[in-house]
Amino acid sequence: MHRRRHYIYPDLDTLAAAFVCELNRFLQETRGLDRPVHIALSGGSTPLAVFRQLALATWPEEWENVHLWWGDERCVPAADPESNYGNSRKLFLDPLNFPDVRIHPIRGEDDPELEAQRYSHLLMGQLPVENGFPVFDWIWLGMGEDGHTVSIFPDQIELWGSDQPCVVASHPKTGQRRITITGGVINAARRVAFLVAGESKAHVVNEIVMKEGNYLDYPAFYVTPLSANLEWYLDMDATSWM
């Protein structure tokens, strides 16, 4: 039976503060493991509030065995304000002097097809593999107003079921090329967390939670990790339809 835990906060900054506390708890818990711990960061604007607070965190030693990856990337150079990696770098990786050897960005500036293949190979080579997919310890996800997650959009929902860990996608409105992990990777993860804020997403959150309306069209609905370890971090606005 799939369990979904919801945590609701008054606003994004409070959500971010709670998430940073949970991250600290996770790092304490995994610090003793004599193996790398792999986290995939989400993109877009919502996690920026978390990254800003992380830059203030005073516990770098806790990250010792942590490797950072991305769930998706826009096909732009790291210096571009649209770059998920670039924003993470600026907001917390550089302030924390996070060692490059444990940072694994998707190269948005490279040929998308070749980069999707390269990142797939890297994941399959560095992470444990189960049922043909690399296994993350924790994947952070966002969700769009159209129910997309990572860069799998409703008009390309067939990409969710790809047997490849990473594929190329494109933004339905802007046409921007994207590189994204697929459903098999997300649902193989030991733990998955959605960070979703804002009234504009409330109807989709409600349809997914209540299994109403167009929920079957939303890639975010298919986030059902085999570990059953799924959490939703939501602000009040994003739950205004619940």
Contact residues toward ligand 6PG (CB under 6 A) are 42-46, 71-72, 84, 142-144, 148-151
The CA angle 108-113-114, to the nearest 5 degrees, is 80
Tell me whether residue 30 or residue 238 sits nearer to ligand 6PG (CB atom). Answer: 238
Nearest to 40 by CA among 163, 166, 160, 130: 166
Tell me whether residue 30 or residue 53 sits nearer to ligand 6PG (CB atom). Answer: 53
Closest approach, Cβ 1 to ligand 6PG, in A, equals 27
CA distance 50 to 45: 10
Cα–chain center distance at 213:
25
Closest approach, Cβ 213 to ligand 6PG, in A, equals 19
Chain residue whose CB lies nearest ligand 6PG: 142
Cα–chain center distance at 7:
17
CA distance 21 to 197: 18
Closest approach, Cβ 61 to ligand 6PG, in A, equals 29
The CA angle 183-184-185, to the nearest 5 degrees, is 90
DSSP reduced 3-state for 84: helix
Nearest to 166 by CA among 125, 216, 207, 209: 125
Tell me whether residue 38 or residue 178 sits nearer to ligand 6PG (CB atom). Answer: 178
Tell me whether residue 9 or residue 62 sits nearer to ligand 6PG (CB atom). Answer: 9
Tell me whether residue 53 or residue 149 sits nearer to ligand 6PG (CB atom). Answer: 149
H/E stretch holding 45 reads: none
